[in-house]
Amino acid sequence: MNQISCDVCKDLMPLVKDGIASEDSCALVMAHISTCKHCSVDFGGEMVENTAMDDVIVLNKIKKQLMLFILSIIFLGALIGMVLSDGMGMFYNALIMPAIGGFGYMLLRKKSYFVPLGLFLFAFVWVSIREIIKGFLAYATIVDLLIMSSWWAGIFAAFSVVGVLIAGLLYYAFQKER
């Protein structure tokens, strides 16, 4: 049996403890620990059973992280778009909102219609609150507020629909023939 040095054993210990080392590496570390008091103290006896790396579990973790990243991009993009809509930066929404729709399509695929609906609701609430804070109701009625909020929310949602459609068409165009 091959003997390994203490340095190599210490390098392999975290992998063995996490259960991601190969069977040969585990056997080498265990053989070294049984003969070396210093390394057995460092190892501490805690070990996870050697479970082979499951590709499905790893892919699911990556998908979850990617979904959270895209969801945060959608939320931050909508927030930035809403903030910019109050000044000269509102024209950036012609780029931001379709991008939100495109990211929404990447995240949800066939249920991407939720992105424009969610954006409509978010924009409606945002514009309503913003105008109430500005004192819009001092010179207009609640109906005027609802109409204006619906108008702006509809524009933002329409821009995101364009993004969803573009992303869907690109996905369809670049899909491999089956």
Contact 168, 112 (CB under 8 A): yes
The number of beta carbons lying within 10 Å of the beta carbon of residue 32 is 23
Do residues 108 and 130 both lie within one domain?
Answer: yes
**Domain containing 36: what range?**
6-43
Do residues 28 and 92 both lie within one domain?
Answer: no
Look at 86 and 26; give whichever has higher pLDDT.
26
The number of beta carbons lying within 10 Å of the beta carbon of residue 51 is 10
Give the three-state DSSP class for 178. Answer: coil
pLDDT for position 82: 85
Please state the rounded mean pLDDT for residues 23-52.
Answer: 78
- Whole-number percent of the chain with pLDDT over 90: 34
Residue 14 reports pLDDT greater than 80: yes
pLDDT for position 21: 81
Integer CA distances (angstroms), 54 to 27, 51, 61, 71, in order? 21, 8, 11, 26
Distance CA 52, CA 29 (A): 17
pLDDT for position 48: 52
Residue 50 is assigned to a structural domain of this protein: no
- What band does 2 get if pLDDT is binned at 50, 70 and 90? low
Residue 1 is assigned to a structural domain of this protein: no
pLDDT for position 49: 54
- Whole-number percent of the chain with pLDDT over 70: 92
Residues 6+ away with beta carbon under 8 Å from 98:
159, 160, 162, 163, 166
Residue 178 reports pLDDT greater than 60: no
Integer CA distances (angstroms), 1 to 24, 31, 61, 125, in order? 11, 9, 38, 70
> What interhelical angle do 93-108 and 114-134 show, nearest 10?
140
pTM of the full predicted structure?
Answer: 0.62
- What band does 74 get if pLDDT is binned at 50, 70 and 90? confident
Mean pLDDT value across the chain = 86
Do residues 80 and 22 both lie within one domain?
Answer: no
pLDDT for position 177: 63
- What band does 164 get if pLDDT is binned at 50, 70 and 90? very high
Task: Judge residue 37's burial from the number of C-beta atoms within 10 Å of its C-beta, 0-12 exposed, 13-18 middle, 19 or more buried.
Answer: exposed
Please state the rounded mean pLDDT for residues 8-31.
Answer: 85
Do residues 25 and 60 both lie within one domain?
Answer: no
Do residues 23 and 68 both lie within one domain?
Answer: no
